[in-house]
């Protein structure tokens, strides 16, 4: 009996020793000490008691271990989170009935004696020449390829010419058209894409040194859709590194109206190239102003569609809940022509809705309820005079403008959504320290933004999205009272707010600044109502000529 008691005691003491040794080892391996927690509290704006810190120490170390295990899993930029953003407010129903599309009559178009005179022809005008066989796609493609070669280096707007591919596609288009197989208004029309869309056999650099030799050997969904419509890809165009600004590894993309200045970003090369007549149209993206801003300073027309309209498959992810794909063109109707080819599900991007796109080229302003952000327009700001004249022009066209105000929500505080998502999209870049290779290293540049985002608590990110839900519901109430509204392009919080809510927007030129560069204002529409929005912008452009003015290049 005593013998067994000794054995039991030995086992108990041995177990206790091993337990204490294990506990000691765990404590020794703990990377997060209780003494560290108060400093972290200051970063997140909370304060805990000493007892609470003591209790959470093990949990924090467990979480750190989770992070380290997660980081062992390779997450390509193309892999989205399982949580999808929903821009649709409670009770909203979008139009599922697709009506026949109608575009303007371009039968007036004739081939000029000098081919240089077609430089700034619209898509509709070029389409008429191709359809009537006044010019071949091959001739048109070679013409724009030469302009890309001549002026692209001066504007720093071209990353890669896809010349071999373009000529093959143009030849194919000519063969089809000669046999009577005409695909529509984009058949044989050259275009370019922002260099964040993957392209088979050509590099996709994202404008950034760490990725300048990157080959994603497949075509992005938007490229496939355009080529199915017969369009001809001629160039991958510059973008601010990782979709910020207009500086990329090849330099600063220039504004054709003043080549000492940048073309703004991040769809910098698209806006610059379309403005300079290097291409009839291009495809850009917007997360928070990347179509509106370069379209403004370059004097071209841009469409930022409703979130969930155009597939982002094959596009660099910056913010899964805010990224949107849209066209940049010479005029509003060109936006409709291109959008008609690229919208709708592709079977891959799960955020895309199957809503109808109904566009008619004529619209009666007298029958529309058009809002305007009165308090914002009443401010004194650089574009104020031109915006006031634009308002007057709309009233002359029969519009009765209704004063409205955006929801009283501090959208600037919600920027952490974009910040957190972008940091996740480029997590590996930050952890590898290859962010040191990025062109810009200021406090407001991506490297510092990505690093700072590591300290955004998940709880705050989720709560920011809960406020975003409230914003969506408030915007739905506002849009019940108007068909669309107008806003200054940059002044106020409309740009960030509508990027968060997912509403569509068209930006059009409305004059020039004192230094001779273009200005713009914007039309904002109801969710999935791009047709009416583009028609309103077209009506304004039909009554003005700012979109017909072009920069002179030497």
* Residue 271 in this model has a pLDDT that exceeds 60: yes
Question: CA-based angle 162:168:170, to the nearest 5?
Answer: 95
The answer to whether 130 and 140 have CB atoms below 8 angstroms apart is yes
Structure confidence at residue 29 (pLDDT): 66
| Omega cis (within 30) before 266 | yes
Give the C-alpha separation, 354 to 226, whole Å. 18
Residue 429 has pLDDT above 90, yes or no: yes
Task: Write down the mean pLDDT value for the chain.
Answer: 94
Q: Report d(CA 289, CA 268) in Å as an integer.
A: 11
Say yes or no to pLDDT of 415 above 60. yes
- DSSP, collapsed to helix, strand or coil, labels residue 270 as helix
Q: Is the pLDDT of residue 19 over 50?
A: no
Euclidean distance between CA atoms 225 and 211, whole angstroms: 25
- The full DSSP string for 56-108 is HHHHHHHHHHHHHHHTTS---TTPPPS-----PPTT------PPPP-----TT
pLDDT single digits (tens) 201-212? 999 999 999 999
* DSSP H stretches of helix in 118-263: 123-131, 137-155, 163-178, 221-228
Instruction: Report the pLDDT value the prediction gives residue 291, as an integer from 0 to 100.
Output: 98
Which sign, positive or negative, has the C-alpha torsion 495, 497, 500, 504?
negative
Tell me: pLDDT of 37 over 50. Answer: yes
**Model pLDDT for residues 367-401, shown as the tens digit of each residue:** 999 999 999 999 999 999 999 999 999 999 999 99
pLDDT at 427: 97
Each residue's pLDDT tens digit, 463-522:
999 999 999 999 999 999 999 999 999 999 999 999 999 999 999 999 999 999 999 999
pLDDT at residue 12 is higher than 60: no
d(CA 239, CA 254): 11
Question: What pLDDT was estimated at residue 363?
Answer: 95
Mean of pLDDT values over 524-528: 98
Q: How confident is the model at residue 6 (pLDDT cuts 50, 70, 90)?
A: very low
Cα-based distances in Å from 518 to 209, 221, 289, 381, 397: 31, 32, 16, 15, 23
The mean pLDDT value for 26-37 works out to: 78
**pLDDT tens figures, 286-330:** 999 999 999 999 999 999 999 999 999 999 999 999 999 999 999
* Structural tokens at position 465: 């999205």
- Looking at residue 30, what is its pLDDT? 79
pLDDT number for residue 554: 82
What 3-state class would DSSP assign to 525? strand
Structure tokens at 282: 């291009």
Q: Which two tokens stand for residue 548?
A: 């017909």
pLDDT digits (tens, 9 = 90+) for 59-104: 999 999 999 999 999 999 999 999 999 999 999 998 999 999 999 9
Query: Taking residues 442-451, what's their average pLDDT?
Result: 96
Query: Is 9's pLDDT higher than 80?
Result: no
- Residue pair 111/130 in contact by the 8 Å Cβ criterion: no
Tell me the Ramachandran region of residue 132: left when phi exceeds 0, alpha when psi lies from -120 to 50, beta otherwise.
Answer: alpha
Residue-wise pLDDT for 47-63, tens only, equals 999 999 999 999 999 99
Q: Taking a C-beta distance cutoff of 8 angstroms, is the pair 513, 432 a contact?
A: no
What token pair was written down for 175?
């063969």
What per-residue confidence (pLDDT) applies to 179? 97
User: pTM for this one?
Assistant: 0.94
pLDDT mean over 232-238: 99
């Amino acid at each position: 009996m005593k013998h067994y008691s000794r054995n039991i005691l030995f086992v108990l003491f041995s177990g206790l020793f091993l337990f204490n040794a294990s506990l000691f080892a765990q404590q020794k391996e703990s990377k997060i000490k209780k003494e560290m927690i108060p400093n972290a509290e200051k970063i997140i704006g909370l304060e805990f008691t000493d007892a609470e810190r003591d209790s959470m120490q093990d949990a924090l170390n467990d979480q750190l271990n989770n992070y380290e295990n997660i980081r062992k899993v390779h997450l390509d930029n193309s892999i989205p989170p399982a949580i999808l953003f929903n821009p649709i407010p409670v009770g909203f129903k979008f139009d599922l009935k697709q009506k026949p599309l109608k575009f303007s009559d371009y039968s007036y178009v004739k081939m000029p004696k000098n081919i240089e005179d077609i430089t700034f022809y619209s898509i509709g005008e070029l389409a008429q020449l191709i359809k009537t066989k006044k010019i071949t796609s091959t001739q048109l493609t070679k013409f724009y390829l030469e302009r890309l070669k001549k002026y692209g280096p001066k504007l720093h707007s071209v990353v890669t010419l896809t010349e071999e591919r373009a000529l093959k596609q143009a030849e194919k288009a000519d063969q089809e058209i000669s046999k009577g197989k005409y695909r529509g208004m984009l058949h044989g029309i050259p275009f370019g894409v922002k260099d964040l869309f993957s392209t088979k056999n050509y590099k996709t650099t994202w404008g950034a040194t760490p990725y300048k030799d990157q080959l994603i050997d497949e075509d992005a969904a938007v490229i496939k859709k355009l080529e199915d419509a017969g369009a001809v890809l001629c160039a991958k165009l510059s973008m601010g590194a990782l979709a910020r600004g207009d500086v990329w590894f090849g330099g600063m993309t220039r504004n054709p109206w003043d080549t000492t200045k940048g073309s703004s970003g991040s769809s910098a090369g698209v806006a610059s190239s379309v403005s300079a007549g290097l291409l009839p149209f291009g495809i850009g993206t917007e997360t928070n102003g990347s179509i509106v801003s370069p379209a403004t300073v370059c004097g071209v027309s841009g469409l930022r569609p409703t979130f969930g309209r155009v597939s982002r498959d094959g596009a660099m992810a910056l913010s899964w809940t805010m990224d949107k794909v849209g066209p940049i063109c010479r005029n509003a109707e060109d936006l409709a022509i291109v959008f008609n080819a690229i919208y709708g599900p592709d079977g891959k991007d799960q955020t895309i809705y199957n809503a109808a796109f109904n566009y008619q080229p004529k619209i009666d302003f007298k029958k529309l309820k058009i809002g305007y952000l009165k308090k914002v327009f009443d401010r004194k700001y650089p574009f104020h005079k031109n915006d006031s004249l634009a308002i007057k022009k709309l009233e002359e066209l029969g519009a009765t403008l209704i004063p409205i105000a955006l929801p009283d929500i501090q959208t600037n505080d919600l920027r952490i959504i974009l910040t957190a998502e972008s940091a996740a999209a480029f997590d590996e870049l930050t952890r590898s320290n290859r962010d040191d290779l990025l062109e810009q290293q200021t406090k407001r540049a991506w490297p510092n933004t990505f690093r700072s985002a590591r300290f955004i608590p998940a709880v705050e990110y989720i709560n920011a999205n809960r406020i975003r839900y409230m914003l969506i519901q408030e915007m739905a109430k506002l849009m019940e009272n108007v068909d669309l509204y107008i806003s200054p392009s940059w002044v106020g919080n409309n740009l960030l707010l509508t990027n968060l809510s997912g509403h569509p927007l068209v930006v059009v030129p409305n004059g020039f600044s004192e230094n001779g560069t273009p200005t713009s204002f914007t039309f904002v529409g109801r969710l999935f109502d791009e047709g009416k929005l583009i028609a309103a912008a077209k009506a304004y452009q039909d009554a003005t000529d700012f979109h017909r003015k072009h920069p002179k290049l030497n």
